[in-house]
Amino acid sequence: MLCDFNPCRPCWDTINDKDDFNINHSYKNHTISPLETEAERNIRTRTVTPIVTGSSVAAFTFNGGVILAADTLGSYGSLAKYRNIPRIHQVNERTVLALGGDLSDADYIKEAVDTKVEQDIVQEDGGEMTPLALYAWSTRFMYHRRTKLNPLLTSVIVAGMENNEPFLGRVNDKGSAFKEFLIITGIGTHLAQGWIRTILETSNQLNKEQAEQLMDRIIKQLYYRDCRAFARYQVCIVTNNGVEFKAKEVQPDWSLAPLLSVTLFLSLFSTDCLACFFFYSSRNTE
């Protein structure tokens, strides 16, 4: 059992001369050392590996707003255990928050944001949590936890309308932040970000309907290629008219399954396999 720097009651009662009390003392199972840090005393409370996690979150801006999407699966390791966990949180009428990574840390962040919003309401000074304000606050919040050696293992995406213009920013678990027109977290960064960026850069500004169609295509791609993705997902669209949520589900197309079976069969009889076959056949003939 570890005590704080101030002597605990059992230790203090056993000291005869309180004036000569040395902070570096030991009494049975009670030990006090000024070299101990809070992290050492609470080492078992530090999350070093996420347990229940959410997969990729995708977001990009379009002409007149921002669109975000994330599936509703909470994976317990590789087990698809929790299948109805929304990861996009509405802060107010023009600001939303999307979270990917450890879901317990994500809940902690949502509660902290809600508390901050309630404090702003109680003050009655006319202030409101804008996307840029939430983005700046999130960087300080995440960096503060990182400097305490207890980071929140979650990626934060802040989206909304700032001065009637689309806003999109990301903050990682170390407090590093950037603003961009396209943000994807998790393995979706490698699976989808490249071709989506090409589409967004080569085409003109997408309208709301085109952006929604592209987002459906993104989620479908991630569902096919990411083993932690899920068919049910949540879409959030933020415009000057407010925040709109939609619940959707990927309709998988398995018509390619026979082609994949043929491809697998042919891969088993590749050039190297055929060469080995003819080599051993010739030896047996001799």
Tell me: pLDDT of 8 over 90.
Answer: no
Tell me: pLDDT of 7 over 50.
Answer: no
Both structure tokens of 76: 């317990």
Name every residue whose Cβ is closer than 8 Å to that of residue 24 and which is 6 or more positions away in sequence: 32, 33, 34
8-12, 122-126, 268-272: which is most confident: 122-126
Instruction: Determine which of 114-123, 146-155, 276-285 has the lowest per-residue pLDDT on average.
Output: 276-285
Both structure tokens of 3: 């005590």
Name every residue whose Cβ is closer than 8 Å to that of residue 183 and which is 6 or more positions away in sequence: 57, 58, 59, 60, 157, 168, 169, 170
In tens, the pLDDT along 41-56 reads 655 566 678 899 999 9
Q: What pLDDT does residue 46 have? A: 65
**DSSP letters of 29-79?**
TEE--TT--HHHHTGGG---S-SEEE--EEEEEETTEEEEEEE--EEETTE
- The CATH T-level fold of domain 52-249 is Glutamine Phosphoribosylpyrophosphate, subunit 1, domain 1 (3.60.20)
Q: Among 13, 10, 11, 3, which Cα is nearest to 34's?
A: 3
Catalytic residue selected from 37, 47, 147, 189: 47
Task: State how far the Cα of 22 lies from the Cα of 166, in Å rounded to an integer.
Answer: 61
Mean pLDDT score, 143-162: 94
Task: State how far the Cα of 241 lies from the Cα of 237, in Å rounded to an integer.
Answer: 10
Q: What is the pTM of this model?
A: 0.74
Give me the chain's average pLDDT, please: 82
Q: Which residues of 228-258 are buried (b: 16+ CB within 10 A; e: fewer)?
A: bbbbebbbbbbbeeebeeeebebeeeeeeee
In tens, the pLDDT along 194-228 reads 899 999 988 878 999 999 999 999 999 999 889 88
Task: State how far the Cα of 192 lies from the Cα of 185, in Å rounded to an integer.
Answer: 10
Give backbone dihedrals phi and psi of 216, rounded to 5 degrees, phi first.
Answer: -60, -40
Q: What pLDDT does residue 26 have? A: 43
List the chain domain ranges: 9-36, 52-249
The residue with greater pLDDT, 161 or 203, is 161
Q: How confident is the model at residue 30 (pLDDT cuts 50, 70, 90)?
A: very low
- 130 flagged as catalytic: no
Q: What pLDDT does residue 14 have? A: 53
Instruction: Determine which of 6-20, 43-57, 115-129 has the lowest per-residue pLDDT on average.
Output: 6-20
Task: State how far the Cα of 208 lies from the Cα of 21, in Å rounded to an integer.
Answer: 71
Tell me: pLDDT of 167 over 70.
Answer: yes
